[in-house]
Structure 1
Amino acid sequence: MHSVLRKLYFAGSDFLEGTMRHPVRFLMGCLLALGLSAWALDAAPARNLALVVGNDSYANVTSLQKAVDDAQAIGDELEKLGYVVRRAENVDQRGFSRALVAFDADIQPGDRALFFYAGHGFEIDGTNYLLPTDVPAAQANQEDLIRDASFPVGRIIDGIRQRGAGVAVLVLDACRDNPFANNFSRSAALGRGLARVDAPEGVFVLMSAGAKQEALDRLSDQDGNPNSVFTRSFLNELAKPGQTLVEIAKKTQVDVRALAASVGHDQTPAYYDQVIGDVVLSDAAAQAGPQTAGTEARSTVGPNIKTQINITGQTQAGAGVQIGSGTQIGAGVMIGNKEAKIAVRNQANPPGSDPAKALNVQQGGTPTDTQLALLQPDSKLGNKTQQPLARAPIASFMRSNSGWTVTISLPEPATALAYRMGEAGEFKETGLLDVLDQRTGARMPNPSFPLSPRAPAGVIEVRYRTADGTDVGPFPIRFDPDVALYQNQRQNLEQISGSWVEFRDFNGTLVYFTTLLSYRCAITEVRYGLNGAPPLTRFDLPVCNTKDPFEIPNNAKTYLKVPPNTKSISVQLTWRDRSQSEVNTVEKD
């Protein structure tokens, strides 16, 4: 509730600044704020969300062996506990940024958010940084290179809290060997481990080692366990039902300390608890998993099993099969980041009046047990009947002054396309274009439809009709206007980098920043330099107005007066996801 009021306060402040001279508009704004607060109080129930990141393959510093396996194992266990899990593996700075932005966008007020990171971490002047795979190989006097390329733990915490999460849990297996050991001196300040974390209220942080300690990636070169010393212990406790966060942390401490001591190493995980009350991550009900009515058989898809699942028509992954978050349906099916085959029949459930019961998960077995529905046949399974595989469409969002335009890209020829907001209600067809689709011989369905500029975050469901008259779907598409606006404006700016600024001669030499002002909702900071100087000087932008994002306020500073001998200006942007653009140099004609 505190986060909702905070957002309403800032939204009200922005509204008040532009409407004090218009009492009617001000009154309407007040009524709108009251309506929003009422909507927030009636929000959806809290959910369990997680982002797990594992980085092994570092380009410029020491690589690791177990971080990706650690992240996969944690993600699999969290899915068993009912978490919706996003996964990111071996991500560079851009990929890490996008994963964080997407995760933050998923969070709604009251949700429980868990962030797990396995990989290199580094502490500089008391601040802990998580390192993407493209972090540069910095020298002892180049700490700023690490700061600029990495992700401060505090900023990750802030991002989760700003979305209003009820509880934020960070688990960091990031205190491993110093990635810059060959470059830095062995000083205590720069050589080992992470610093303690001052967790704000509502945040619980568990670290694989205490302050300034180094965590073991493995006990020895002969250690065959796929997980680090910390993660293997944490996984064991995570799977036990009924334990609170503190109990999990304490038992993990005891186990890790004993394992490390067995090879003469000092490692004791540290935790920082500012969560009010007890939080239980696992209970018996969660481990049992949700039940599906009318389902006699159930299988859980795991990442280490050669798994076959069925998907045919509107049946997705068989009757009651739990496939977890991030599953990609289509050519090269991925489940838990592992390749999977697709089966449409299991002899244990022969076809009958209910086709869904004949389409359960088949794990293992012999080729005679299954028929494939793959886009590319598998010769090892002999002459089996190939059936079509339903693949999900994708959507792009474009914002204009009049509102949103959603454009759907379909995986196969279609004769109709329909959509609805949410999971209930009537579908609305998009209509037909005056264009013939040579594949179907019929008019092509309009791939686009409009949304109000004030459309709230939620799920859009789409379905389409194939040339043979089969209705496929519905497919859920997540719409978050804040994320869509950022992505749309950033994409536009990246495509017109040569027009970010413009020179004009009028009572002197002027540089106009009008384009950047128009797309400022994607930017947090603009810096520039003249005549080849690095972009260090800040050019201030007005605050983003999401209700009218392209409007430039009347009192906004749109240009910069520069010396007459200025021949070029170099500009660098800091995007909303904290990454930076390349330096863009514009020459004066």
Structure 2
Amino acid sequence: MRRSARFFTSLVLSLALGLCAAEAALARNLALVIGNDSYANVTSLQKAVSDARAIADQLEKLGYVVRRVENADQRGMSRALVAFNADIQPGDRALFYYAGHGFEIGGTNYLLPTDVPSVQTNQQDLIRDASFSVERVIDGIRDRGAGVAVLVLDACRNNPFANDRSRSVAATRGLARVDAPEGVFVLMSAGAKQEALDRLSDQDGNPNSVFTRSFLGELSKPGQTLVEIAKKTQVDVRALAASIGHDQTPAYYDQVIGDVVLSDAVDTTPQVGQQVASASPQGNTGPNIRTEINTVGRTEAGKGVSIGPGVKLGPGVTIGGKDSRIALQNPANPPTTDPAKALNLQQGGAATGQQLALVRPDTKPGQLTQPIGRAPIASFSRSNAGWTVTLSLPEPATALSYRVGEAGEFKETGLLDVLDQRTGGRMPNPSFSMSPRAQAGIIQVRYRSIDGADVGPFSIRFDPDIALYEDQRRNLTSIQGSWVEFRDFNGVLVYFTTLVSYRCAVTEVRYGLNGAPPLTRFDLPVCNMKDPYSIPNNAKTYLKLPGSTKSISVQVTWRDGSQSEVNTVEKD
């Protein structure tokens, strides 16, 4: 199939699937991860920040959009909670992870910011005023209508105020039990009144606390419910602590209705444009059968499809199954005008009991692969030098970074010599460049909000064919009066140079003279994706018209099949 035909098929499918955007916008996975080590007035910790980073990295692998906050004072924690709650929409899955000092007062648990004051006996109200109760965190999430709220608290450490026992607040061990309301799951690093271990010994080189290292191991295993993760973490932590004669058994409080898996994604390190998934093998898609799905966009298993170990989703996908293929260009199902039915492409091959896969290319480049509220949006523009990606952020930011693909280091875009009056600092550069040879795939974006949280990553789809079309169409629409230009030179000439330059957005140009309908075709050179704005030496760019010509009417057919309005240009 020719490039233009493939592009047209992809574009029409993309536009049609936009009708199903509401269906695709299901519950999202959001997380706020806080790690506090550097306390100003009480005992500092060694591994809370490292714990938070490891948890945030793992959650991102599972498809969560993560706000990261490290060594936050009271103002920073307050801003982070407000921003996180603002992200949440009804039905979302919200996860809050905290590593740092916690303190229990009268049965209420408080999470301590890094500037919590050092208090003496009978000054516990100062702790209440300077800290954040766990109930406040839960209420903030529930008030936003989250479908599930998960709190993971590695805060049951030693009494931070117990350095001077003659004057300090009475020593306490750990946190109190939590009466979780419906829809909330709380996992704590130790049971009520127990102290959680930072490490097993001074020779323990593990960068994470005893609880978090065990929790991370279970979090990386696909398909486990919250209760399964909690119970297995309990067993592991209890055994580790007992090995040095310490009593620590993580506690969990479950008020979530039904079984909840933290994410449908699987912990992998995929290649660019690929995503790995897994589920229990059953039916005729067991682990020893080979199946391939070829797609040009995002692929999801539809109803009735069971996916075994070793599944890969993305362009040239392997599903661990039998010898059959699904291609957007040649679906086994007959054509249909019903957008819902058009999403179903039947699995090829002659085997009986065929299954269905649901194929959903993203609606357009620049949109998130998973729609996320308060997320950046991207626009793409192409020049002879390459691609420029311009990002628009939903809130003030102090830094902006990106990576091409779903692995590797994030690169900061740098700062402009422009002050942002909202932050008081220099504004992050909203743009970055990519090679003119950049291939279709995923761009991930992360930004730092004014509360110090690293927000993201957000995955944005990039398709050079569609991005070029949209960029050129947008530019042509904005300069409609300049599509053609009259000149007098040995007669009347009309130049189509602008339309020739932006021809990658257009399949046909027709014109008419002196009020006649635009029926006569003006032929354009073939679009050259490698050098889209260059005009071939032999290209026809103008027409010589009769001296009586007073106006020309032009209409273009865009590459998605739609037509522009008739554009009439008068000769001066």
Pair member with larger Rg: 2
Give the TM-score band, short-chain normalised: 0.3 to 0.5
Higher RCO (CA-CA < 8 Å; seq separation 6+): 2
TM-score (norm 2): 0.48
